[in-house]
Structure 1
Amino acid sequence: MPTKLLICDDSNMARKQVARSLPEDWEVDVSFAENGEQAIAAIKAGKGDVLLLDLNMPVMDGYQVLETIVKEDLPTLTVVISGDIQPEAHQRVTGMGALDFIQKPVNKDKLTEILLSYGIFTREELSTSKVNQETATKSRQDKIELPAINKPVPKAQEVKERVYQPITLATDLRDCYQEIANVAMGRAGDLLARLLDVFVLLPIPNVNLIEVSELRMALTSVATNETTSGVCQGFIGAGVSGEALLILNDSSFKEIASLMNYHQDIDESAELELLMDMANTLIGACLSGVSEQLDMTFSQGHPVVLGQHRNIKDLIATNSAKWRQTLAIEISYNIENYSIKCDLLLLFTEESMRTLNNKISYLLD
C-alpha cells in the first residue's frame, strides 16, 4: 500500500522541488496543500501519513499546523522544510513534535537520509530504486534522438517580436521570485538572529513589478507616523543590476544598541554606525542567498546613506531619479519581544528582468 504523503507549501515552485526530491520509485501517493488550513483538512481526510511542512505561509503557518496536530492528536509524521534556518526555529519545531528539519532549497540526499532514519522509507526500497533508475537511465540513453538538421529558421521579424516583448510578471514567475526571496530572507534572518542573539520573525516576502510612484506609496505604508533612516547599496551581476535599500525605524536604534552591547551615547554618529552594521548584515546575506540560488555572483557597490530621521517619502525622493519600472522585493524583519522594525527592499532594473526570467524559467519545468 502506498504511503500517503502530503507536501504543504504556499509556493508552487517549492512544492515541485520537494516532489522531485522524493526517493525514486518510492511507492507513495502524493497530495499538496497551499497553506496550513488545507494541510489540516487533508490530514483529517487520510491524505497525510507523512507531512513535509513549510513554516512561512498565509492563512495558517507551519507553527500553527504543528500546534493543531498535537492539540487534536492527528495521525501524521512531520518533517519541516523551511527557509527559516535559525537554530531556534529548528529547536521550536522539533519541540512541537516535528521529526526533523531540512533547510530550503531541499536536498534530495538529505531528505532520503531523514526518511530512512525514521523508517519512513526503507533501504530495500532504496536498493530497488537504484536498479530501476539505472535501467531508466540506460533506456533514455538508447532513445536519444539526433536533432533535426533542416529545421526552419525563424524570420527576422518573428525573432524581433520574441526578443522585444514588454516585460510582465506572470503568476508563475512571481511565485519563483517569492520563493527565491524566501530562502534568501531566511539566510539573512539567521545571520541577524546570531548577531543580536534574538529570534527573528520572518514574513512572506512581497514581490511586485511596479512604477516608482507605486514604490513611494508602498514604502509610505511601512511607517506612516515615524521617522526613518536608510541606506542604499547598488549591486551588479551578469546582465543583472539593481539597488538594495535598508530602511530602519528610528525607534529601533536604542534596542539594537542594547542587543549589540553598544555602550556609547546614542548620538547621530552612533546611530549611523548601527545602521551600517544592520545594512551590511542583511543586504550582504540576502544578496548572497539570491546569487547562490541563481548560480551567479553579485558585486556590491559602496553603501550610501539616504538620510537619517526623515520621512520615507524624503528618503525615496533622494534616489527616485534612478528608478522607473522596477521588480521590487520587500522583506520586513521584526524581532520577537522587541520593537525593532526594518524593511529590506531589493530593486531590480527592468532590463535585469529579462535575464532573471530566463534564469529562473527552468525552475518551472
Structure 2
Amino acid sequence: MTHASVSLISNSKKSAFVSVIPLVVCDDSNMARKQVLRALPADWPVSVTEAVNGRQAMDAIRQGLGQVVLLDLTMPEMDGYQVLSALRDEGLKAQVIVISGDVQDEAVRRVLELGALAFLKKPFDENELRQTLTRVGLLTQPGKVPLQNRSAPDAAISFHDVFRETVNVAIGQAAALIAKVLGVFVQLPVPNVNILEVGELHMALNDASSSQQLTAICQGFIGSGIAGEALLMFHDSEIADIAHLMQRQSSDYSDLEMLLDLSSVLIGACLTSIADQIDVGFSQGHPQILGQHAAIDELIRVNRKRWKKTLAVEISYSLEGHDIRFDLLLLFTEDSIERLTHKLAYLMN
C-alpha cells in the first residue's frame, strides 16, 4: 500500500486548526488513482492513502485511514461491492463515493442500497467531483482552507495501464447498453491487455473457430491510423437463452441474425466509447460469422503483414442469473499501437 500525505500550508492562523480528513482512494488502475488525486479540490483538507484493491482499502479503513473512501467497483481480489458489504457487516462508518466505469442503472442502485453516498461515472472531471462532494456534505466550506503544493504521485503511468483504463470505461458503457437490451445485470470483468505475436494470435483464433460449441463473429474497424478486428464469441448452448432474453417472436429471425444484431450493439458501443475517449472516429465494417463469410485462415492471411504483433484486449462478459457469457476480443494492428500511444500520451504524464 502506498501513502501520499497532503500538507496544509496557509498564512491564516485558523487553517492550523482545521481537521484533516483521512481519505482512501481505491482503484486497481494506477492511472485512475492519479486522475482522482489530480481532481481532488485544492481546498479540501485531506490526507490520502492509495489502495489497489478492496482488501488494501479495508485494511486502511480499519486503521482509521479512511473516513472518506473514493471507491472503484471492478477490481481483482475484492471488488467495490464486496467492500461496501464488508463495511456494513463490520459496522465501519466510512463515507463512500463510488467512481466507476460500470454505469449500468442497476450498478448505481446497488451501491446506493449498500450505503454509498453517491455514484460518479467514469470518465469524470474535477468539477463533477467537487459538486458531488458538496452535495453529500463532505465539502461544506470550500475556499476556507487553501492547500498548496498538492501533487499526484510521480509514478510513471504506462501505456498498458492507460489503455486498460480506457477499455474499462468502454466495456462499462457497452454493458449498460446490453443490460437495457436484454433486461439483465451484466457482470463486468477486469479487461486483459496483452501484446501477442502473430503465431500466438493464430493459435488463439484457431482454437476459438475450431470449437463446435462456439459461434464467432468478427467486425473490422479503421480510422485515424488505427485499425483492427473485433471478435465476439458465443457459446452455442446459450443461444436459446439469448433468444429468450431478446424476446424473439418470429422464427424468421434466425439465430445468426440475432447474434449479428447483438454483436453490432456490443462491439459498436465498445468501439464508439474508445473512439470518443481518444478523439478519433472509427469506420466499422459489417459483422460477419467466422467460418461462413470470413474463415479464420483468410482473416489471418489478409492481415498477417499488419498483425506481426497485435495489441489484444480480452473481455468476458457474463449475465447474472443466466448461464450466458460473451467473450470479446479486440485486436489492434501493430501500426495502431504507436498511434494509440500518441493519442493517450496526455494521460501518461
TM-superposed deviation, 1:178: 0.9
Alignment of 1:191-202 (within 5 A): 191-202=177-188
Asked if the contact 2:70–2:96 (Cα under 8 Å) also holds between the matched residues in 1, the reply is yes
Query: Residue 275 of structure 1 corresponds to which residue in structure 2?
Result: 259
Q: Secondary structure at the match of 1:125?
A: coil
Is 1:115–2:133 an aligned residue pair? yes
Asked if the contact 2:209–2:296 (Cα under 8 Å) also holds between the matched residues in 1, the reply is no
Query: Residue 263 of structure 1 corresponds to which residue in structure 2?
Result: 249
Query: Residue 309 of structure 2 corresponds to which residue in structure 1?
Result: 325
Asked if the contact 1:231–1:303 (Cα under 8 Å) also holds between the matched residues in 2, the reply is yes
Q: Secondary structure at the match of 2:142?
A: helix
Residue from 13, 28, 39 that aligns with 1:21? 39
Taking the aligned partners of 1:363 and 1:187, their CA distance within structure 2 comes to 20
After TM superposition, the score normalised by the length of structure 1 is: 0.82
Per-residue deviation, residues 307-359 of structure 1 (Å, max 9, x unmatched) = 37xxxxx9643422213310001111111111112111111110111111111
**Equivalent position amino acid for 2:315 in 1:** I
Is 1:95–2:113 an aligned residue pair? yes
Query: Residue 343 of structure 2 corresponds to which residue in structure 1?
Result: 359
TM-superposed deviation, 1:209: 0.4
Structure 1 residues 319, 223: closer, same or farther in 2, change over 3 A?
Answer: closer
Query: Residue 173 of structure 2 corresponds to which residue in structure 1?
Result: 187
Taking the aligned partners of 2:96 and 2:347, their CA distance within structure 1 comes to 26
Is 1:214–2:208 an aligned residue pair? no
**Equivalent position amino acid for 1:183 in 2:** V
TM-superposed deviation, 1:74: 1.4
Q: Which structure has the highest helix share of the two? A: 1
Q: Secondary structure at the match of 1:112?
A: helix
TM-superposed deviation, 1:171: 7.7
- Report runs of 4+ in structure 1 exceeding 6 Å deviation: 220-225
**Equivalent position amino acid for 1:125 in 2:** P
Unaligned runs of 5+ in 1: 137-169, 309-313
TM-superposed deviation, 1:26: 1.7
After TM superposition, the score normalised by the length of structure 2 is: 0.86
TM-superposed deviation, 1:107: 2.5
Query: Residue 12 of structure 1 corresponds to which residue in structure 2?
Result: 30
Asked if the contact 1:80–1:98 (Cα under 8 Å) also holds between the matched residues in 2, the reply is yes
Asked if the contact 1:246–1:279 (Cα under 8 Å) also holds between the matched residues in 2, the reply is yes
Residue from 61, 79, 85 that aligns with 2:97? 79
TM-superposed deviation, 1:237: 1.5
TM-superposed deviation, 1:258: 0.5
Alignment of 1:1-365 (within 5 A): 1-122=19-140, 124-126=141-143, 172-218=158-204, 227-265=213-251, 270-307=254-291, 316-321=296-301, 322=303, 323-365=307-349
How many matched pairs?
320
Taking the aligned partners of 2:104 and 2:172, their CA distance within structure 1 comes to 8
**Equivalent position amino acid for 2:71 in 1:** L
Per-residue deviation, residues 82-120 of structure 1 (Å, max 9, x unmatched) = 000000000011111111101111232221111111211
Identity of aligned residues (%): 48
**Equivalent position amino acid for 2:337 in 1:** M
**Equivalent position amino acid for 2:321 in 1:** N
